[in-house]
A and B are shown apart, each in its own frame.
Chain A
Amino acid sequence: MDAGFAGTRFKVTVQMSAQSAKADLIVGGLSVASGIAIMLASRDYSQPARQFPMWLGATIVLCGAIIALSAWLRSRQAENPGGAPRPASSLWSGLRENGRLAVVLYALVMLGWSLVLSFGGGYLLPSIAAVVLLLIVAGERRPGRVILGAIGIAVFVFTMFYILFNARLPEADYIRELAASSRRLF
C-alpha cells in the first residue's frame, strides 16, 4: 500500500475516533448529570412512587459513567499521535460541511411555525410560509416550484386532516373573531 495514502487514512481514522470519543464524553457526562437529577427529584416522592425512577436514575448514571470512561480512554489513545496540529475549522464551516446547518435551520423553521401557531396565527398561512422556508433550506431555489410546492403541500395536509378526517387544526384568532362578528350580524 502507498505509505502516504496509509498515513492519511490512519490520520482520518484517528481523527474520526477522537471525534466520536468527544461525542461519547458529552453523552456520558450528560447522562450522569441527568441520572443524578432524576435520583434527586425522586427523593421527594413516597416509597412506592420513588423506587422505580430511583433505579432508572442509577442505571442512567452507571451507563453514562461507563460510556464517558471508555470514551476518555479512547481519546487518550487517539490524542494527536503524530504531533501534527489538527486543522482548525470554525463552527460555521463545520456545520456547513456536514450538512448540519440545514438541519439546524430546518429545526428552527419548525420551531418558528409552532410558535406562530401557539400565538393564534392560524394554520394555513403559517404552514404555507413554513413550507416555503423548508423547501429553500432543503436546497430548492426555483421560485415557481417553491411557491407552488408550498401551497400544494399545505393545502394537501389541511384537506386531509380538516376536511377528509374532520380533525381540528389550530385556528387564527382574527378568523375566529371575524366569524364571531359575522355571526352577530345575522
Chain B
Amino acid sequence: MDAVLAGLSMLTQIDVMIYLLLGIIAGLIVGAIPGLNDNIAFAVFIPFAFAMGAPSALAWMIGVYCSTSIGGAIPAIMVRVPGTASSLLTSLDGHTMARKGDAPLALSIAITSSVVGGLSSSVVLIFFAPVLALFALRFGPAENVALGLLGIAGVVSMATGSFWKGVLSAAIGLLIPTVGYHHGEARFTFGNFYLYDGVSLVPLLVGLFGVAAVLELIEEEARDRLNGQGSSIDRVRIGARFLSRAMVRRLWPTWARASLIGNIIGAVPGAGALLAIYLAYDQERRITAIKATDDDPDHVPFGAGAPEGVAAPEAANNAVVASSMVPLLSLGIPGNSVSALFIAALEIKGMTAGPLLFQRHLDFVWMILLSFLFANLVMGPIAYAALKWLIGIVYALPRRVLAAAIALLCLSGAYVIESTMFGIWTALLFGFLGYGFRRAGIPIAPIILAVILGGRIESSLFNALTLSKGSWTIFVDPVNHPISLVLVLASAAFLLSPLAGYWRRRRAA
C-alpha cells in the first residue's frame, strides 16, 4: 500500500502531471499526422529523457503511447488516411459515416471507444503485472532463455511477410548485443574504442525508427509529387459530440468484446495492435451479421458506415496499449516495438524492466501503472476539447517540413546521448539499414526485440549450460524446469504455426 501511495505522490507532482498532459497532446498530434507514429515520437524524445527526471520522462511517454491511436482515428475518419497503422480499419466505416454527414458521431465513437479500451487495459495492467512479476521471480537461467526465446518466437511468427526474413531479422538483432567486451574479450569491435561498451541502444533505436521513417516519408512525398498528388489536405472545421444513451447501450457489447480481444492480444509478445483490430473487427462483423434482421432500422452493414465498425477497432487498439506493458514490466519482455522503447527509457534512468523492477523500484512501477489509468481517464476529455484545433493544426503542417525537423531532432539527439559523433554515425547506419530492411520486406520488430533481449539470452544461456555441464536437456527438463519446458513448447508452437499454415495452404492448392 505504501508503494501505491508513493507512486501516486510521484504522479501527482506538478511537473510529472504537466509532462503526462503534454504527452497526451503530443500523442494526439503525432497520431493525427499521417506518416508519423508513436515510434517516431519516442525516437525523437528519448534523448531528451536524459535531462529529465525519471517520472517526468515516463509520464510523457505514457501520455504519447495512450493517445496516439485516438489521434490516428481523426484522419482515418475525415480523409480515409489512417494516421497510424492501428487505425487502418477505422477508416472503412468511419470515413463512410463522415461521407454521410456523420463525422461528429464517428469521431465521438472513436474517442469514447478508445477511452473504454484504454481503461480496461489499464485495469488489466494494474491487476496482472504484479502477479506475473511475483511468479517470474522464480525464474532461473534456463527459464530466462526460454522466456527470451518465447518473446522472439512470438514476434517472428506474427511478423508480416516471409517467415525466414523474420528469423533473419531476429538473428541480426541477437547479433548486435554480442558486440563489445564479453567473456573476457572484445568481440566485433574492429579496434574501435566506442564499440567496447557495445552498440549504444538509443542511437540504434533513433536510427531504426526515426531516420528510417524520415527516408520513407521523403520517398512517399517525392512519389506523390511525381504523380501529381499534393500532400496537403483541405482544412475542415468539425468537432465531436457526446454519444447518446441509446448509442452507448448499443455499443457496450462491442466495447466489451473488442477490449477483451485487445487485452489478450496485447499481453502476447509480438502480437501487436494490427492483429487485435483485425480480430475485433471480424468478430463484430460476424456478430452483427447474425443479429441483423431485415426490419431492424438501426442495422447498418459493416463497410457501409456501421458504428460498431468504428467502435471495435478503436476499443481493441487502445486495449493493446496498456496490456502490452504487462509482459514488459513483469517479465522484461516487450509486447511490441513501441513498448520496447520503454525499456530504453528505463535503462537511461538506471532501471531494468522485469521482476526485479518490482523488488527495487516498486514506487516507480505503481507510478507507471497509475499513469496509464490516469492518462486513459483524461485523454477522452482532452481529445473532445482539442479536436477542432487539432484538425486545424494537423492539416497545416507540410510533410516536407516535418521530415526535415524529425531528421535534425533524431540526429542531434543521437549526438546528445554520449556527446560524440559516434552516436550520429550509429543512428545513420541503422537508419539506412532500417530503410533497406523495410524495402526488402525484412520486418523491424524482431530486430528491436532481439537487440533488447539478446544480452540477457546469451548470459542466461551461458549460465544454464554451465549449471547443466553442457547438457541442453536443462531447457526441457519436466521435473526441475517445468516452466522452461512449457515456454520452449509455446515457442515451438509459435514458430511452427506459420509453417503449418503454409503446408495447409499448399495441400489445399
Contacts and interface: CB of A to CB of B under 8 A. Distances in A.
A157 B425 contact: no
A92 interface: no
B288 interface: no
A67 B223 CA distance: 29
A56 interface: yes
B247 interface: no
A59 B167 contact: yes
Contact of B408 (A42, A46, A56, A131): A131
Interface string B216-243: 0011111101100000000000000000
Interface string A85-119: 00000000000111111110011001101100110
Interface stretch (B66-74, B382-390, B413-421): B413-421
B432 A107 contact: yes
B78 interface: no
Contact of B218 (A42, A49, A138): A138
B408 A154 contact: yes
Interface string A142-164: 00000001100110110011000
B461 A52 contact: yes
A174 B432 CA distance: 32
B168 A67 contact: yes
Contact of B411 (A64, A114, A166): A114
Contacts of B162: 67
Interface in B203-224: 211, 214-215, 218-223
B437 to A, nearest CB: 9
Contacts of A57: 175
Interface in B170-224: 171-172, 174-175, 178, 182-185, 187-188, 211, 214-215, 218-223
Contacts of A156: 405
Interface residues of B, number: 61
Contacts, number: 172
A91 B219 CA distance: 16
Tell me the dominant secondary structure on chain B's binding face: helix
A149 B222 contact: no
Contacts of B215: 103, 106-107
Contact of B219 (A20, A52, A102): A102
A130 B408 contact: yes
B103 to A, nearest CB: 30
B421 A153 contact: no
Contacts of B407: 106, 110, 134
A48 interface: yes
Contacts of A127: 408, 412
A157 to B, nearest CB: 5
A168 B184 CA distance: 33
Contacts of A165: 48, 50-52, 416
A23 B214 CA distance: 22
B334 to A, nearest CB: 20
B175 A56 contact: yes
A84 interface: no
Tell me the dominant secondary structure on chain A's binding face: helix
Interface residues of A, number: 65
Contact of B421 (A149, A161, A170): A170
A118 B421 contact: yes
Contact of B211 (A31, A52, A110, A113): A110
Interface in B458-505: 458, 461-462
A138 B404 contact: yes
A24 B404 contact: no
Contacts of B412: 123, 127, 157, 161, 169
A177 B136 CA distance: 56
A153 B218 contact: no
Contacts of B50: 165, 167
Contact of B168 (A48, A53, A63, A123): A63
Contacts of B174: 52, 56
Contacts of B403: 106, 134, 138
A117 B408 contact: no
B218 A98 contact: no
B428 A111 contact: yes
Interface in A33-90: 38, 41-42, 45-46, 48-49, 51-53, 56-57, 59-60, 63-64, 66-67, 70
A14 interface: no
Contacts of A56: 171, 174-175, 178
A114 B408 contact: no
Contact of A98 (B167, B184, B223, B419): B223
B448 interface: no
A57 B440 CA distance: 20
Given A27-B442, A165-B51, A53 B178 contact: yes
Nearest to A27: B440
Given A48-B183, A114-B428, A138 B221 contact: yes
B311 to A, nearest CB: 37
A167 B435 CA distance: 28
Interface string B391-432: 000000011110111011101110110010100110010001
B411 A63 contact: no
A63 B165 contact: yes
A117 B167 contact: no
A173 interface: no
28 contacts: A23-B440, A27-B442, A49-B182, A49-B185, A49-B187, A52-B458, A53-B187, A56-B175, A59-B171, A63-B165, A70-B164, A98-B223, A99-B223, A106-B215, A110-B428, A111-B428, A134-B407, A138-B222, A138-B400, A138-B404, A153-B404, A153-B405, A154-B408, A160-B409, A161-B48, A165-B52, A167-B47, A169-B415
Among all A-B residue pairs, the 9 with the closest Cβ atoms: A99-B222, A138-B400, A102-B222, A99-B223, A165-B51, A63-B168, A49-B183, A134-B404, A167-B416
Given A48-B462, A127-B412, 14 more contacts: A31-B168, A99-B221, A101-B222, A102-B218, A102-B219, A110-B411, A110-B428, A138-B399, A140-B398, A140-B401, A153-B408, A160-B409, A167-B47, A169-B412
